[in-house]
Amino acid sequence: MSIVWFNGALVEDRVTIDPADRGLTLGDGLFETIAVHNSRAIWLDEHVQRMEHAADELGIGFDEVSLRTGVAEILHKCTFVSAVLRITLTRGVVDSRALTGSGAIPSLLVTLTEFNGANPSAISLATSSIRRNETSPSSRMKTLSYIDNILAAREVMQRADDALMLNMAGHVACATIGNLFLLKGDQLITPRADQGILCGIARAKFLPRAREAIVTIADLHAADAVFRTNSLRLVTQVTKLDDRPLGLRSLDDIKHFITERIAP
Amino acid sequence: MSIVWFNGALVEDRVTIDPADRGLTLGDGLFETIAVHNSRAIWLDEHVQRMEHAADELGIGFDEVSLRTGVAEILHKCTFVSAVLRITLTRGVVDSRALTGSGAIPSLLVTLTEFNGANPSAISLATSSIRRNETSPSSRMKTLSYIDNILAAREVMQRADDALMLNMAGHVACATIGNLFLLKGDQLITPRADQGILCGIARAKFLPRAREAIVTIADLHAADAVFRTNSLRLVTQVTKLDDRPLGLRSLDDIKHFITERIAP
């Protein structure tokens, strides 16, 4: 069951869209997924700002008033204890067949879906052969063109819970649905923003106490603990990489740290 | 004006779609664009086969009977002299939030749009900083996740008609909307299938008389002529690369060769 808002109004469970909308035809758009607890959208401002910055870079119109209205109308209808709010912004229909076509009126879709909350406490990773493409600005945006993450997740699904994605230089980038951190002594380390990663909102919460660096697979194996961050799933310990156990230092203090950052 | 067929029936100018359809939410699907002249779809079988192979690789259900039915119903309504047939196949709605979610009923969209036929006889290229990601199988499929081609085209739009995309090794891959060939003496050369390219249907028509190779930017500058192939635009000469003139040998024999291959 979902609650759906599309281009200005709550709608039934389907959306009626132009078949030439570039979100549908070319993955030409952006999205955010946001945790909702007791009708409160967690870190909403940060998600909205990230979408706005990426929309500017893509040249997609961004109407914050409309977006905020859609979110408010959806949350007003929310009866779920835990839910996922998803905001999808597409370029809309452009004025020519060209990839550079412009003049579009963007489409804005907001959905709210119940979240069963069955987050695993620990996951395994396996290294994907598919690299993150840090030569593209899209590697740093949450665009609708998500096929490489899907392919990477599918590639490893028989042997691990998520894929480790390296960048073109062979350095650690991220998982398919989250950023990676490692604990080494009293240091908290995460791949740098230029390493082909989407800079996650949960990741940003740790940055004040973390160091950004170039991270290698060897660094992960040598760490005291490795974890994945994600706005919905928060902190999940990674206990295995390519079937080799990783450091298992407790993450209780880490989890406490991020839980505190979900502002009351 | 378009004619639209969606999931089994001709519809008005809008489609009604589940907001969780992965084609809309994650660029998780495939498309083909096919030239139509006098209600005849050019190289239809080749396009359908390419989509089927990619759907198999992505694990997306492919129903050729339904697809052929949609195409036939659309073409039956066609009153355009020249048109573009687009087939879009999405994974549909999957059974979980996971990227690896399955159990979906695919969505199939077929549209026909008049083509004004204003193909340029020559174009310029400028080299994009965005590389093709040959580590991903998606570089060899026509997926809905098209954002890198869009970004590359937008990057050069003030200084050229299309972008030259290199692969991660720095070798020539393709343009954003077509494959590249070069003429050198009596040799016809095109980047190899493993160079991060989508193997175009028009490209395939030249392969019997071409050699696949690793191609460099220097090779393009040293060629007697460079051209781009595309199923809709067929053969277009490239006269400039990064503001430097390229070889200008006539392509009349080339154009004649491919026109003959549009089987009567």
Per-residue pLDDT tens over the stretch A179-209: 999 999 989 999 999 999 999 999 999 999 8
Chain B stretch 231-250, residues whose beta carbon is closer than 8 A to a beta carbon of chain A? none
The helix-helix angle for A64-76 and A44-58 (nearest 10°) equals: 140
Predicted confidence at residue A149, as pLDDT, reads 98
Q: B27 — contact with chain A (CB < 8 Å)?
A: yes
How confident is residue A143, by pLDDT bands cut at 50, 70 and 90? Answer: very high
Q: List b or e across A197-224, with b for residues whose CB sees 16 or more CB atoms inside 10 angstroms.
A: bbbbbbbbbbeeebebbebeeebbeebe
Residue A264 scores a pLDDT above 50: no
- Tokens 């494959």 belong to B179
What is the per-residue pLDDT for B201?
97
In the structure, what pLDDT confidence band is assigned to residue A3 with cuts at 50, 70 and 90?
very high
- Give chain B's residues under pLDDT 50: 264
Per-residue pLDDT band at A97 (split at 50, 70, 90): confident
Helices (H) and strands (E) in chain A, counts: 7, 16
Would the CB atoms of A4 and B19 count as touching at under 8 Å? yes
Q: Rounded mean pLDDT of chain A?
A: 94
Mean pLDDT, range A249-262, rounded to an integer: 78
Name the pLDDT band for A121 (thresholds 50, 70, 90).
confident
Q: Which residues of A touch B17 (CB under 8 A)?
A: 14-17, 24
Single out the residue of B48, B100, B52 nearest to residue A151, CA to CA: B100
Q: What is the pLDDT of residue A117?
A: 66
A-facing residues of B in 134-193 (CB < 8 A) are 135-138, 143-151, 153-154, 157, 168, 176-177
pLDDT of residue B144: 98
What is the percent of chain B where pLDDT is above 70?
98
CA distance B118 to B107: 32
Task: Extract the runs of DSSP E, i.e. beta strands, from chain A.
Answer: 2-6, 9-11, 15-17, 29-37, 40-41, 82-90, 107-114, 122-127, 162-166, 172-175, 179-184, 187-191, 211-213, 225-230, 234-241, 244-245
The answer on pLDDT for A170 being more than 60 is yes
Cross-chain CB nearest to A147 (options B4, B138, B168): B138
- Chain B residue numbers with beta carbons less than 8 Å from the beta carbon of A24 are 17, 23-24, 88, 109, 144
pLDDT at site A199: 96
Contacting residues of A for B147, CB less than 8 Å apart: 26-28, 58, 136, 138, 143-145
Task: Give the pLDDT of residue B238.
Answer: 98
8 A C-beta contact, residue A17 and residue B15:
yes
What pLDDT is recorded for position A78? 93
In which region does residue B214 sit, left (phi positive, over 0), alpha (psi from -120 to 50) or beta (all else)? beta
The per-residue pLDDT for A262 is 65
Return the residue in B25, B134, B177 with the most chain A beta carbons within 10 A, the one to mutate for interface testing: B25
The residues with which B132 forms a beta bridge, in sequence order, are B167
Taking CA–CA distances from B84, the nearest residue in chain A reads A97
